[in-house]
Amino acid sequence: MKNIKTSKRMYLSAFLLISLIVVVNSFPSNALAESTSTDAVRDVVVVEASGLMDPVLVRMMEETLEKVDPNETIALVFQVNISGSVVEDESVVALGKVISSSPVPISFWIGPSGARAKGPIAELALISGDIGITPGSKIGKTGRSIFPSNSSEEYKNLGIDEKTINYEEAVEKGIARSSPVLLEHLVGLEGFETISDVESGEIRPLTQTRFEEMDPPDQFFHSVGSPAISYLLFLAGMGLLVFELYTAGVGIAGVLGALCLLLGFYGLAVLPSNPLGIALLIFSMLSFAVDVQTGVPRFWSAVATISLIAGSLLLFDGLSLSWLTLLFGILLTVICTIAISDLGLA
């Protein structure tokens, strides 16, 4: 009986000893696994922002800043190539507050080469406290500062309120650090880990980088809100409606024309458009319609062409269309309407 009890005690002791060893060994292992797992998910998020600062872009930046998790993200980097802003100062100030209060370090990279950071985006970059710039890129033309922190004498001495400064000046004045490529900018972020190959000297990132961009619908409306696209859509919409007006039935041209016109109006509503320019473009299409109806391009076609040119030049306040866009829009409109009149398609 004693032997049986002794055996049970031995088995129980052995079981407890083995269990204790397993438990003790599992603690460091689990702790290491948890630490490794935590480090693995902490990455850098890079978000591209280009074009004009419009409501769509500002909303995307705000949503990205609000959803970023400090437990999963080392830093949030905005890759910018922005030439101006079409949003109210209040929206920019609100975005600046989100940037300054973010639990995750915010950084701006002006790249790739040839990129611009003009207007309020330059002030937002200064608020972040970390800017990288590529050779060939520029920053500045902020105008009157809308942030109290950027209204000091030191800020005014930077000389970026009325002009843009290039890569060399930005680095020399301490506004930005030299970052010819994105990886070099990321390496300068605190917590970003790399490994160096002894033989080749190549630096490889250990920290993962996650790239994010706008959702397709937002990207679509952001593109429509650009001056060139909204201008061409507006002309195409009116031209197709004029063509459809003098043809039998309601065909695909009318549907496409209405869609293009609506999208064009959306772009003009977002951008700082000039009512006089819009009125001249509408008048030009009505004038073209007179000769399209008669089937002979005469006096009204000349009036329409002059009105089209004037309206195109006056369409936007503070923004300018490229000569290529202007030539394409004007010539295509004139050629198509005259061709329709000559061929008697109406």
CA 240 from chain center: how many Å?
31
Place of tokens 């001495």: 157
Q: What is the pLDDT of residue 224?
A: 93
Q: What is the pLDDT of residue 248?
A: 58
Q: What is the pLDDT of residue 187?
A: 93
In tens, the pLDDT along 285-300 reads: 999 988 888 777 788 8
Q: What is the pLDDT of residue 294?
A: 77
Q: What is the pLDDT of residue 2?
A: 42
In SS3 terms, the chain reads as CHHHHHHHHHHHHHHHHHHHHHHHHHHHHHHHHHHHHHHHHCEEEEEEEEEEECHHHHHHHHHHHHHCCCCCEEEEEEEEEEEEECCCHHHHHHHHHHHHCCCCCEEEEECCCCCEEECHHHHHHHHHCCEEECCCCEEECCCCCCCHHHCCHHHHCCCCCCCEEEHHHHHHCCCCEECCCHHHHHHCCCCCCEEECCCCCCEEECCCEEEECCCHHHHHHHHHCCHHHHHHHHHHHHHHHHHHHCCCCCCHHHHHHHHHHHHHHHHHHHCCECHHHHHHHHHHHHHHHHHHHHCCCCHHHHHHHHHHHHHHHCCECCCCCCHHHHHHHHHHHHHHHHHHHHHCCC
Q: What is the pLDDT of residue 41?
A: 56
Q: What is the pLDDT of residue 337?
A: 82
Report the predicted TM-score, pTM, of the whole model to 2 decimal places.
0.80
Q: What is the pLDDT of residue 31?
A: 32
Residues of the chain with confidence (pLDDT) below 50: 1-40, 346
Provide the pairing of β-strand 194-196 with 203-205.
Answer: antiparallel
In tens, the pLDDT along 306-316 reads: 999 999 999 99
Q: What is the pLDDT of residue 27?
A: 36
In tens, the pLDDT along 14-46 reads: 443 344 334 334 433 333 233 333 444 579 999
